[in-house]
Every structure is written in structure tokens, then in C-alpha cells.
Structure 1
Amino acid sequence: MTSRSTAERGEAAAQAPALDRRLVPPMVLGSVLNPINSTIIAVALVPIGAALGASPAQTAWLVSALYLATALGQPVVGRLIDLFGPRRLFLSATTLVGVAGVVGALAPNLGVLIASRVVLGFGTCAGYPAAMALLRAESRRTGQDSPAGILTLLAVANQTVAVIGPLLGGLLTSLGGWRATFALNVPLSVLAVVLGALRLPRTEPADPARRRGALVQRIDLPGMALFAVLLLTLLLFLMNPHPDRWYLPVTAVAAAAAFTVRERRAAEPFIDLKVLGGNAPLLLTYARALAAYIGAYAFLYGFAQWTEEGFGLTPLQAGLVQAPTFLVGIGVSVLAGRRGGIRATLLIGGIGQVAACALMLLLGVHSPLWALLLLAVVFGIPQGANGLALQNAVFRQTDPARTGSSAGLLRTFAYLGSMVAAAATAAAYGTHAGTAGMHRLALVMLAAAAVFLLLTVFDRNLRKLSVG
């Protein structure tokens, strides 16, 4: 009886529909467009500043502009993907990536270069929500509760791109100048559009005109506009928190109040605050993402600037120093993906981040090169653990009907972390990325890492999560 039951289960599993592998290439490519543009510019900031006469505080806007646009666009595009499907949003957004690449490669000054990064941010904001929405659809179709293998693949792909990014950025900057790091987006855009057009499913309804009109009516434009004002004013203040900019936080608070009233009354809210407010585990996951990415992005950009200006490395050498972080991150992601324990993975990531920040405080201009490489190795532990575990937690904790927008919000909180990191980097360094500034930055990172670890230790809901 038992053996027959086991055999029947095995036969049923064999007959179960498999995930459509044709979707994987556009999913992966779309999801990595943002991280590759995050990492490739890290070692180009100093050459850009030298070429355009800009200080580290000014070139920090090249980082912030991308994340500002993406933080605004991710949940908006994610909600549109929930309503209309991923294909059209994916194709439109990835086309913008190519446009941004052309503008950036030809930019005559820092202002135009920052504008190209804004366009790039909007262009890269569809890939990740589209991938998560496609995974949710495939999960329903195949009957697999959680496609852990593909979730791990997305995390590993992001880690792999993070390995390639600084190295490729250093190589392109050495061979063709910093403009080559922007021009790279043109072939990437073409490839993404072609793959998306050929492989992403069409989601046309039975009665397109009537159905499309009903969906358009469900778009919460006032809610999206208020959310944009809230996020824009908040991030602009974080980038330069000065008393004479008092109107920005005041505007943010007013927009938050209006947004709350609007979303609680809307029949089809952009962000369902009633559901989100009752989903404490998901809110804690977003809070952990904010804390985690303060440290991750401060290391990616702030530490890279110190290795060049403070320690004296070339852009290519700075990229090589950061490579162990992402190589270790790949290994950690693969191992954690096989284990499937979200809480354990988050604990490992939190402890690793605290240890790395403490080690960063011990470095100086006279430190041996191996000490920098050791730091890069230690930072690889949270780099691989946190991103995967946060992604898996959102997939498990979110409302299936809002997978795209929830995935977008995860990235939004990550970009909020990047904004805090960029502001902290600019404040810590001022006009020169010296050792004293690097130590001040490390203290900010250590505080964020401690918050992340505490949020993980005391969150009992994490014990219930697993990915299979």
C-alpha cells in the first residue's frame, strides 16, 4: 500500500507541468539590468569626477539618481504588471535602458549624465517585478508552491552580475573611458527587448477593449502621484539633510497623510494599506531590507571610493578588490538556496554584516592589501545571504494578487537604504574620500547592521517560513 502510494506520488510528480524554461533568460536579464548599472559605476565615480570637475558629494548623485527613479518606478510598474501583465511593461522599460545608454555616453556635463541615470532608473524598474509576477503565474500553472530553484537563480544571477560589474567597469574605464560604462546599456537593451518580444507571454483578454477599459479604471493615479511626492521629497532631503531644506520633510509628511487617507478610501488602492498594515511579517521584511542595504550600498560605493582616493588603487584594482565580496556571495546564495531556511540565512547575513563593519573600522592607508581582500570576503556573507532571504520572504508573505507591486516595494526599500548610504557617504567624505571619513561611514553601517540583526532575532514569524 505504502509503496504503491509512493509510486503514485512519483508518477504524479513526473506528470506535473514543469516551469517554462523559455521564460528564464528574459527574467534573469531584466532583473540584473539594475544591479549591473549599480556596480559598474562604482569604480567609475572617481574618473567621472576628475573629468567633469565634480566632488564625491556631487558624483554621489549619479548613484542617487538611479535609485531615486527606480524607487519611484518599481512599485508603480509592479502594480501595472499585476493589472496588465509583464510583457508590455517589460518591453517599454527595457527600451528606455538603451536610450539612457546613448544619452550617458554622449553627456557633455554632469547634469546631463545625472539625467541619463534617471532615465536608466525608470528603464530598469520593470525587470524584477516582471520576473516575480511570471514566477507567481508559473507557480499557479505548475502547482509548485514556491519555485525555489528559480528564486535562487535570480539571486545568484544578481550576485554574478555584481562580480562582473566592478571588474567590467574598471576594464571599460581603462580601455574606453568612463563613457563606455554607459554605452554598454545599448546592447543590453537590444538583447532584453528581443528576448522579451520572443518569449514573454501575451496576456490579451477575451474582450480586449472592454477589459482594458476596466483595468485602466482600476489604476489608482492619485495614489501613485501622492506616493511619488512622498518618496521624492523624502529622498531629496536624505541626500542633503540641511535645516534650510525644512520644507522637504514637511511636504513628505503632508503627502504621507494624504496618501494614507486616499489609499484607505480607494476601491482599488495602489498600495492596500489595510492589507499591508495587517501583514506585520511583510512590513518587518521591508524594514530589514532598508537596514541591510544601507550597509551593502555604503560598502559598494563608499568603500570603493576610499580604496581609490584614500588607499591609492586604480579603478581596475578597486574592482578586483571588491570581486571576492560577490564571489563569496554567489557561493552563499547557492548554499542557502539549497537549505531553504529563511531565518537561519538572515541570521548568518546579519552576523556577517556586523563583523564586516567592525573589521572596516580597523583599516587605514597603511593596512596590507590582504586586509582589504579579507574584508571583501567577509562582506560576501551578507551579500549572498540577505538578498536571497529577503526575496524569498516577500514571495512567501505577500498577497499573490499583488506579487509585482510587493516585489517592487522590496526594491523600493532597498533603494531607500541606498539613498541613506549615499547621503552618509557624501556626509562622511565631503570633498575627499579619506580614512577618517571611511571610519565615520563604517559606524553608520555598523548601526544599520545591528538593527537588521535585532529585527531578525526577535521576529518569531520567520520560524514559520521555508522555501521548497
Structure 2
Amino acid sequence: MTGSAHAPHPAPAGPEQSFDRRLITPLILGSVLNPINSSIIAVSLVPIGEAFHAQPSQTAWLVSALYLATAVGQPIVGRLIDIHGPRRLFLAGAGLVGIAGVLGVLAPDLGALIVARALLGLGTCAGYPAAMYLIGSEARRTGSDSPATVLTALAIANQTMAVIGPTLGGLLIGVGGWRATFAVNIPLSVACLVLGALRLPRAKARQEGGRPTSRLDFMGMALFATTLVTLLLFLMSPSVARWYLPALTAAAAAGLTVRELRTSDPFIDLRVLGGNLPLLTTYCRNLLAMIVGYGFLYGYAQWLGEGRGLSAPTVGLVLLPLFLAALIASAVGGRRIGVRANLVAGAVAQIAACVLLLVVHTDTAIWLLLAVALVMGLPQGLNGLALQHAVYHQADPEHMASSAGLLRTFTYLGAMISSAATAAFYRQGADTGGLRDLTVFMLVVAVLFLVTTLLDRTLSRVGAPRP
């Protein structure tokens, strides 16, 4: 892998071969389990807190537990998929999602519910890396790049589930209470198990030098997990008294660097990754986009519920335009896959939404509240689509699943930073003053996202339409 953008290298194949479209349904269904569970909780926190008499600082663990499990698990599971293929890991993850759904429905206390959310995070780790792996492997099998429509469909599905989560959660709570937001995982799990068993290929372990590549860098994985967990724990509640957490993060990161540079089969090949500046920049740009996206999703939803006094179902309905705008933006942006153009448009829309949010107050008319969600939906669709295409074209084809997993790691790192910022600005509650402070923070990040996009000339060569 080099620093230049590239697509997976297809092997020669007959012209009669084409993408196996039977894979589309399971790969999309598996990949959306994570975004829907990460966003559906936004409107569930208040009713869950009331049910268990828990403070916001306690219910925040429902968000953090999934983020921690996913941020650590995605690249690890992705590495396993790169080596052993997606089938077994996809099915195991789907089964774990079903177990977590049952636990959430029956949970007697908040602690059990937090465990259920952590299991959901682990169970949903396989879906997206498996999808990216299959898209890349189909490109090699058929001898041509996978259809752009497949990547676009994957992006649309993930963005749709991420933004429709609060609306769906509000409707489920209105019908069956907050436990319904966990119960929805049970039929989804069954569908993934059935479709995965019927349609996913039985892949053999990758061969290297005539022998199976099955060595796993357990030490590297452990150091990676330690680095992320200590960092995320600090971000959840940053304070000078917790200085030991960033110290542990730095020590684990240093150990990970030394380990990965010395081992012959590293978990994260830092030599190769370090030489791919465009991919590293894409990860950082994804971090910035997610800080703004999740900051809005949770910050705005909490303000609507507490500051504006709307019910959970109503909050979900107010956020519905965000879903519609993201869906339309993904569909339109996917017709001509110009990564740089989509990212610039997404950055401008983020800035516009933040500026609009600065004028919101407790007496703001409903139509303006809907308009804010509508404008913020545009970057949700455009950025998600463009960043996914960038990783697909910039990553080493042999590490596609783990590269996709790292993209999700940066997604949830951004979510944790936004969660910490939200907690800091809402220290006195989700009032209008706190919302404005949070919005200023998001506006600064959105401007930085735009600047890094405009300065990155390599983006003009990524994902351009092929003749």
C-alpha cells in the first residue's frame, strides 16, 4: 500500500462474471445493526433514567458502553475477517446481537442494561467490515470494480439507519416503552443469521507463501485495546484528577508502536499505514465529521427533550427531516461519486446547520426546529458516502476489512469526544445556553473539516467515475 489512492486490484476474470447480488441484502442488513443501535438510544436515555431513577451521568454509560466495545472491536474483528473470511464472524456477531436484545428486554436494572449495550457493541462489530470485505473480494473475483451502486447502497443504508434511529426509537417507545428499542434487535438478529447462513460464502483462510495466514498479533491487539479504552474512559469524564488515564494511553500507544514495527505479522501494519497519508487523513476527517454529527444528534435531541420539553416520540418526529435529507443527499451524491465535491458540500452544510442552530431558543417555532434538522441531514448523507468511498479506494485490498474497522473506530472516537463535550456544556442541564456553547464548539470543528478538505488535493483523484 502506498500513499496514493487506489482501488482493489481485481484478478482477471471472464466478462460473464458479475457482482453476486445475493450478497447485497445480508451485507447491508449486517452493517446497519451498529448505526441503528448507536442512534436509537438518543431518545431512550430520559425514559430509561426515569424507570431506574438514574442520573444522566449514569445513563451516559448506555452510550459509552457500545462505543467502547465497538471502537476496540471493529478493527480486531476486521483483521479476523481479512484472515478467515466473513461468514463465521458475521454469524457469531448476529447471534450476539440477538442475545443482547433479549437481555435488554429482561434487564432488571441499569447495570444489566449497560451489559446489554456492550454486547450489542461487540455483536455489531462484524457487519460493516464483512460488507467491505465482500465488496472488495467480489471485485477481485469478477475482474472489475464492484458496481458503484453497491457502495452507494451500503452508504445510504448506514446513513439512513444512523439518522432514523431517534425517530424509530421515539415511535417504538410510544408503542411499547423503552424496552422495545432493545427488542427490535431480536428479529434483526434472526434475519441476519438466516441470510448469512444461506448466502455468505464459505471462505478459506488467506494463503501466504503456500501456508495459511492464521497468525494473530494478540499482543498488538491487547495494546491497541488498552490505548483506546484508557483514552475513551478519560474522554467520558475528563479531569485533572484522572491524569493517569492519558498517561496510560501514551504508554500503551508507545508500546503498540514498538510492537507493530518489530513483529513480522502486525495487527496494524504501521509501516504501510504510515506511508498512506491519504488514508490517515481520511480517518482524521472522519473523526471531525463525527464530532459534529454526534454532537448534534445527542445535543439537539437532549435539548429538545429537556430544554424545549418535548416528549420522546415528538423529539423523534422533529428529527425526521434529518433522516429524509440524509437519504436524499446520499442518493444524489452517489450518482456521481466525486469524493472531494461531496465532502466540500457536506462541510458547508455542517457550517450552515451550526449557524442556524445558534438562533434556536425555547420559544423557537417548530418549523425552524425542523429546518435545523433538515439542514444537518445533508452532511450526514454526503460525508458518510464520501468517506466510505475514500477508504475503499485508499486502503490496501488485503486489509480492507480491518481498514473499514478502523474507520468505524474513528467514528466512535469522534462520538466519544462529542459526548464529553455535550456533558461539559450541559453541566447545568440541557438548556439553551449549553446548546449554544456546544454549537460554537461544533462550528469550530466544522470549519476545520472544511479546511482539511479544501487543502487535500489527493481527493480529486479518489472515486472519480471510470470511463
TM-score using structure 1 length: 0.94
The aligned residue for residue 175 of structure 2 is: 175
AA aligned to 1:121 is G
Residues 14 and 326 (structure 1 numbering): CA distance in 2 closer, same or farther, change over 3 Å? farther
Could you say what secondary structure the match of 2:361 adopts? coil
Conserved in 2, the CA contact under 8 Å of 1:56 and 1:430?
no
Conserved in 2, the CA contact under 8 Å of 1:67 and 1:415?
yes
| 1:285-339 CA distance string (max 9 Å, x none) | 0000000001111111111011011111111111111111111111111111111
**Which has the higher mean CA deviation after the structures are superposed, 346-355 or 61-70?**
61-70
Pick from 398, 422, 427: which aligns with 1:430? 427
The aligned residue for residue 121 of structure 1 is: 121
The aligned residue for residue 439 of structure 2 is: 442
Aligned pairs for 1:6-405 within 5 A:
15-204=15-204, 214-216=212-214, 218-405=215-402
Could you say what secondary structure the match of 1:367 adopts? coil
Aligned pairs for 1:445-460 within 5 A:
445-460=442-457
AA aligned to 1:436 is G
Conserved in 2, the CA contact under 8 Å of 1:56 and 1:426?
no
Could you say what secondary structure the match of 1:131 adopts? helix
Aligned length: 452
- 1:144 is displaced (CA, Å) by 2.2
Conserved in 1, the CA contact under 8 Å of 2:31 and 2:131?
yes
Q: Which has the higher helix share?
A: 1
Residues 104 and 467 (structure 1 numbering): CA distance in 2 closer, same or farther, change over 3 Å? farther
Conserved in 1, the CA contact under 8 Å of 2:329 and 2:381?
yes
- 1:408 is displaced (CA, Å) by 0.3
Q: Percent identity?
A: 60
Residues 266 and 429 (structure 1 numbering): CA distance in 2 closer, same or farther, change over 3 Å? same
- 1:69 is displaced (CA, Å) by 0.5
- 1:352 is displaced (CA, Å) by 0.5
| 1:384-420 CA distance string (max 9 Å, x none) | 1000000000000010000000000000001000000
In 1, the alpha carbon distance for the partners of 2:223 and 2:183 equals: 34
- 1:446 is displaced (CA, Å) by 1.1
Q: Structure 1 regions of 5+ residues with no counterpart?
A: 1-11
Conserved in 1, the CA contact under 8 Å of 2:75 and 2:404?
yes
| 1:265-297 CA distance string (max 9 Å, x none) | 111111110111111100100000000001111
Could you say what secondary structure the match of 1:41 adopts? helix
AA aligned to 2:441 is V
| 1:250-274 CA distance string (max 9 Å, x none) | 0000000000000001111111101
Could you say what secondary structure the match of 2:319 adopts? helix
Residues 206 and 24 (structure 1 numbering): CA distance in 2 closer, same or farther, change over 3 Å? closer
Could you say what secondary structure the match of 1:248 adopts? helix
Q: Is 2:462 the partner of 1:465?
A: yes
In 2, the alpha carbon distance for the partners of 1:200 and 1:379 equals: 36
Conserved in 1, the CA contact under 8 Å of 2:167 and 2:313?
yes
Conserved in 1, the CA contact under 8 Å of 2:13 and 2:143?
no
TM-score using structure 2 length: 0.94
AA aligned to 1:215 is T
- 1:153 is displaced (CA, Å) by 0.1
In 1, the alpha carbon distance for the partners of 2:95 and 2:298 equals: 27
AA aligned to 1:294 is I
AA aligned to 1:236 is L
In 1, the alpha carbon distance for the partners of 2:13 and 2:270 equals: 39
Residues 430 and 106 (structure 1 numbering): CA distance in 2 closer, same or farther, change over 3 Å? farther
In 2, the alpha carbon distance for the partners of 1:324 and 1:462 equals: 29
In 1, the alpha carbon distance for the partners of 2:147 and 2:229 equals: 35
Could you say what secondary structure the match of 1:32 adopts? helix
**C-alpha root-mean-square deviation of aligned residues, in Å?**
1.8
Conserved in 2, the CA contact under 8 Å of 1:148 and 1:467?
no
Conserved in 1, the CA contact under 8 Å of 2:391 and 2:403?
yes
**Which has the higher mean CA deviation after the structures are superposed, 36-45 or 314-323?**
36-45
Residues 14 and 252 (structure 1 numbering): CA distance in 2 closer, same or farther, change over 3 Å? closer
Residues 253 and 14 (structure 1 numbering): CA distance in 2 closer, same or farther, change over 3 Å? closer
